[in-house]
Structure 1
Amino acid sequence: MTPRRITIKDVAREAGVSVATASEAINGKGRVAAATRRNVVEIAGRLGYSANRIAKNLNAGRTGSLLLAVSPRPVEPGTGELQPEWDVEYYFRVQGGASLEAFRRGFLLSMLPAHDASRAFLSSADGLIVVDPREDDPLIEEAVRAGVPCVTIGRNSADLSWVDNDFYTGTSAALAHLDAVRPSRTALFLSETSSSYVRDELSSYLEWCGGTRCEPIIIRSPGPRVDEAEPAIHEALAAADRRFDAVLTTLDTLAHATERSALALGLELPNDLQVLSLSDSRSLDYGLRTPITALDLHPVRLGEVAVSLLLDVLDGGAERRRERVDISLNVRDSTLAD
């Protein structure tokens, strides 16, 4: 015989309180005396009561579903490919942090591909998190039109709440580290400039070049994947008139491509070339012959904060919030010259 599910009515009866009081005590709401709240929570645990999340969300007019999307370069629907940004570990770690925090708060979070066909799912979710939004981002515009609450990881131009890192200061610290190890002529290796974080990094790099009277050297990759980036950095490193001896990359995948190209050309890291990534990943620490120094953006924390911001909007918070997550520098062999 299947055991009967314990309900909030059972908890209330055992605790000698009303159903409303039991519900408020368990959910941490209402003006319930501390002793009563402790007693209700203890009884709920002893009876094995767990709140029915689906019913709770339906009672609040919600589906219990959140969406997370990476804004940049989409791919055509039906190709069987993820957009290339999902090859970058950072985004998976953001999603991991967001998923765990959403589940802890009673929601399930799903990845939303950025192409047009996926936008039909917007209306079936309670809210949307957009990572690295573009100026006048079409996905954000679609969410706003559909009345779907939205926050971003990275600054946005739509007056929505956001959480971000201080990329300008982080880039300055990275350049100072390269110069402190050994006075360097540093090139910036990037794949796009539409995201706010890349614009901050580029602005910081150009200001550093102006302050040190160094000529800016900017190398562009056609995309964020290692296989897209490697031909571009290989050509730059192999040039007979190469004018740089350090490379600062905006993504870990670009740093990976730089290390591979340097190795193929017989360049030793860090003696012949210093490499520093403005985004860290496990592959930069364990997956290369020379581990790469990198900025840790704490993506798991970014995902957690983004969910907190989104649920604040869902709960009626009218104030637009701006949150910052600290950056730390993980120094490895690629910048440890003699």
Structure 2
Amino acid sequence: MSGANHTLDVHETPATGAMHRTRDRGQMKPRRITIKDVAREAGVSVATASEALNGKGRVAAATRQNVIDVAARVGYTANRLAKNLNAGRTGSLVLAVSPQPLTEEGSGLQPEWDIEYYFRVLNGASLQAFQRGFLLSMLPTQTSSRDFLSAADGLIVVDPSDDDPLIAEAVRSGLPCVTVGRNSGDLSWVDNDFFTGTTSALAHIGNDRPARVALFLSETASSYVRDELSSYLDWCSATGAAPIILRSPGPRVDEAEPVIHAALARTDREFDAVLTTLDTLAHATERAALALDLDVPGDLQIVSLADSRYLDYGLQKSITALDLHPVQLGEIAVELLIDALDGHGERRREVVPISLNVRESTLAD
């Protein structure tokens, strides 16, 4: 035989005793350990080994533990693709933010993805999905994609709006769906108590001295914004304050800053505190205050109803904010969705508590 020499080694794998052929120089990859190898080493049938590893069936505790120990010893890992195909699944989940109007023509990515909160929800959901044997993808555009959704086992929609097109498409096609935020349908959801959180933020602003508070928002379609607006209006009614509502054309800092700059620059300005529905709006408010040489918090207090790392450093004054625990929201959403996939049809509603991170932008300790 001409050319390079190829030696063929035959050796016994210590863990299994099985004979494997390997070529030098990486010419042949080691054979993948299968469920059949685990069953043979454990002295049980393939069906018993599978049930033991999946936690199903009537397998004696000692047998189950033996199979688990053998699987760990020989380095067996389940083939997730084959497992999902056997269950009639693709092993794929999709997470999307409820569509909002685009502020830039031709923009391919929703402006909401500029907000850290959504990526932290995505991070929590992605890790939880992987641990449960699924891969989670982000749906980046606002247009419902039938092809994209048809290749998934389930859908998570964050901050659902009324008559949400993604939810409508999922329901129409029979795709299991849950939401982060309350929905108007009969789907399971996980959410924060935004009404109570907003009330506590307003109480904090007025703890040191009476404050005239403006609410700064970018939309009112989401259930969380409606809750925050309702709480703010109730506070205004209880304190006798006139509601002051400022609206940005979009959620990004560059969209919000001109609006809040103009409002703060007015000589007849009637507020000395700003409550924002997003961290990006709070960031824009701090930048505008700095540009106008307003002291924070002496001249202007700022509170965000959503926290992010951008509010804790990188600004002249760090901003007091509500921690919504978005990673936990994403984790719970995946659990709710997998429950639906497994046939647990009852609607579930989970509420994650909110905590207030007090920083330099407010007077109260």
TM-score above 0.5: yes
Please provide the CA RMSD for this pair.
1.6
d(CA) in 1 for partners of 2:114, 2:48: 48
- Bigger CA drift: 323-332 or 26-35? 26-35
Query: Could you state the TM-score of these two structures normalised by the residue count of structure 2?
Result: 0.90
Cα deviation per residue 1:175-214 (whole Å; 9 max; x = unaligned)? 0111113221111000000000000000000001111111
Counterpart contact for 1:152–1:161, Cα < 8 Å: yes
Partner of 2:15: none
Name the counterpart of 2:210. Answer: 183
Structure 1 contact 122–146 (Cα < 8 Å) conserved: no
Specify which of 37, 40, 45 is matched with residue 64 of structure 2. 37
Match of residue 49 from structure 1: 76
Q: Distance in 2 between matches of 1:80 and 1:207?
A: 37
Deviation for aligned residue 1:115: 2.8
Instruction: State the partner residue of 1:12.
Output: 39
For residue 230 of structure 1, what is the aligned residue in structure 2?
257
TM-score norm. by structure 1 comes to 0.97
1:207 partnered with 2:234: yes
Query: 200-209 or 20-29, which moves further after superposition?
Result: 20-29
Say if 2:285 is the partner of 1:258: yes
Q: Which secondary structure state, in structure 2, belongs to the residue aligned with residue 329 of structure 1?
A: strand
Mapping of residues 144-159 of structure 1, within 5 Å: 144-159=171-186
1:4 is paired with a residue whose SS is coil
Q: 2:143 aligns with which of 116, 123, 131?
A: 116
Alpha-carbon distance between aligned partners in 1 of 2:173 and 2:252, rounded to the nearest angstrom: 33
1:58 matched to 2:109? The reply is no
Q: Choose the corresponding residue for 2:197, options 170, 179, 185.
A: 170
2:297 is the counterpart of 1:270: yes
- Residue aligning to 2:343: 316
Deviation, 1:14, is: 1.1
Letter in 2 for 1:131: V
Note the C-alpha offset of 1:80.
Answer: 5.4
Which position in structure 2 is the counterpart of 1:104? 131
Deviations 1:67-108 (A, max 9, x none): 000013254999353110000000000000000000000000
Counterpart residue number, 1:332: 359
The amino acid that maps onto 1:150 is: C
Give, in whole Å, the separation in 2 of the partners of 1:221 and 1:78.
Answer: 17
In the superposition, relative to structure 1, how do residues 74 and 61 fare at CA in structure 2: closer, same or farther (>3 Å)? farther
**Number of the residue aligned with 1:134:** 161
1:294/1:181 CA distance change after superposition, 3 Å: same
In the aligned structure 1, how far is the partner of 2:242 from the partner of 2:31?
Answer: 74
Which residues of structure 2 form unaligned runs of 5+? 1-21, 23-28
- Equivalent pairs, count: 338
CA distance in 2, matches of 1:76, 1:149: 30
Once the two structures are overlaid, the 10-residue window that deviates more, 221-230 or 75-84, is 75-84
Identity %: 76
Partners of 1:20 and 1:168 lie apart in 2 by 52
The answer as to whether partners of 2:121 and 2:327 remain within 8 angstroms in 1 is: yes
SS in 1 for 2:136: strand
Gaps of 5+ in 1: none
1:103-137 superposed Cα distances (whole Å, 9 cap, x missing partner): 00000000113433634211110000000000111
AA partner of residue 82 (structure 2)? A
> 2:282·2:303 contact (CA, 8 Å) conserved in 1?
yes
Aligned to 2:96: 69
How far 1:337 moved relative to its partner?
5.9
Which residue matches 2:122? 95
Q: Quick check: which one's helix share is greater? A: 1
Asked if the contact 1:72/1:85 (under 8 Å) is kept, the reply is no
SS of 2:145's equivalent? Answer: helix
Query: For residues 362 and 51 of structure 2, what CA distance do their matches in structure 1 show?
Result: 55
Local SS of the residue matching 1:136: coil
Which position in structure 2 is the counterpart of 1:81? Answer: 108
- Structure with the greater alpha carbon radius of gyration: 2
**Which amino acid is 2:35 matched to?**
I
Q: SS of the residue aligned with 2:155?
A: strand
17-26 or 255-264: bigger deviation: 17-26
Q: Which residue of 1 aligns with 2:245?
A: 218
CA deviation vs aligned residue, 1:236-283 (integer Å, no higher than 9, x gap): 111111111100000000000000000000001101100000000000
Q: Choose 178-187 or 319-328, whichever is displaced more.
A: 178-187
Mapped partners of 2:107, 2:229: distance in 1: 33
